[in-house]
Amino acid sequence: MLDMNTNPQVDAYIADAAPFARPVLEHLRDLVHRAVPEVEEAMKWRMPFFTLNGKILGNMAGFKEYCNFGLWSPEVAALVKKKSAEPGESSMGRLFGKIKSVKDLPSDKELLRYIATAAASVQAGKNILQGRKKKPKPEIAMHPEFAEALKKAKAMKNFEALAPSYRRLYLMWVADAKRDETRARRIKQAVEWIGEGKKANWKYEK
């Protein structure tokens, strides 16, 4: 195997994989390092990942009956899907379906081309995680009784000082109340917590 930036955790993962999976994982690992010598390895979500300049290039995994290999590049996914005999079988996280042996993979030449293309996408900021814009969440109106209670308790400044996500949690909690009694109880509790500078989910934080 080439001299490469390997991770002992990935070594252990491959060693613990099913016998059929080890040669597949070793082959994929070797090809990734051949195509992108500067690639680094990491364990994420209990499976080996390949990163480039801190961004995810791809991943692989070995299960009881098959292996997966993915490259986080929409460009590569489109190329593979175009050539696939079974549309829908491939995705960025599972480019070649369920891999049970090295024979299930494309040729080394083709795989090296895919990996190099994915690396170019990552370096250009075009991998799957780049350019994805989150849809803004719809605003939640503050119930008039909640606003009045905050003002009366002089806790509005504390509320406004909270991070947007925590303000949203309080607003949702009050807005989701089905009955007037429930809403009043929640408002009273929320105002108390906010006055003490507590987040909506403070009980669950370690």
Q: Does residue 131 sit within a domain?
A: no
Cβ–Cβ contacts within 10 Å for residue 121, how many?
22
Per-residue pLDDT of the chain (206 residues; tens, 9 = 90+): 445 678 999 999 999 999 999 999 999 999 999 999 999 999 998 999 999 988 899 999 999 999 999 998 888 888 787 665 444 444 545 788 899 999 999 999 999 999 999 999 888 876 554 444 556 667 789 999 999 999 999 999 999 998 888 888 899 899 988 899 999 999 999 999 999 888 766 655 54
Q: Does residue 31 sit within a domain?
A: yes
Looking at residue 132, its pLDDT comes to 47
- Strand locations in 9-120 (E): 40-44, 47-52, 55-62, 67-71
Q: Does residue 194 sit within a domain?
A: yes
| Kind and range of the H or E run holding 151 | helix 144-152
Residues 83, 181, single domain; the answer is no
Residues 41, 81, single domain; the answer is yes
Residues 111, 24, single domain; the answer is yes
CATH number at residue 74: 3.90.1150.200
Tell me, rounded to whole angstroms, the distance of Cα 12 from its chain centroid.
Answer: 23
Residues 35, 104, single domain; the answer is yes
- Structural domains of the chain, count: 2
Residues 96, 172, single domain; the answer is no
Residues 72, 153, single domain; the answer is no
Residues 109, 31, single domain; the answer is yes
* pLDDT tens string 85-112: 444 444 545 788 899 999 999 999 999 9
* CA separation, residue 139 to residues 40, 55, 175, 183 (Å): 41, 32, 12, 19
Tell me, rounded to whole angstroms, the distance of Cα 197 from its chain centroid.
Answer: 31
Looking at residue 42, its pLDDT comes to 93
Domain that holds residue 194: 144-199
Q: Does residue 28 sit within a domain?
A: yes
Residues 98, 149, single domain; the answer is no
Report the C-alpha gap between 151 and 53 in whole angstroms. 49
Tell me, rounded to whole angstroms, the distance of Cα 1 from its chain centroid.
Answer: 30
CB 48 within 8 A of CB 59: yes
Residues 79, 30, single domain; the answer is yes
Report the C-alpha gap between 2 and 62 in whole angstroms. 22
Report the C-alpha gap between 174 and 160 in whole angstroms. 16
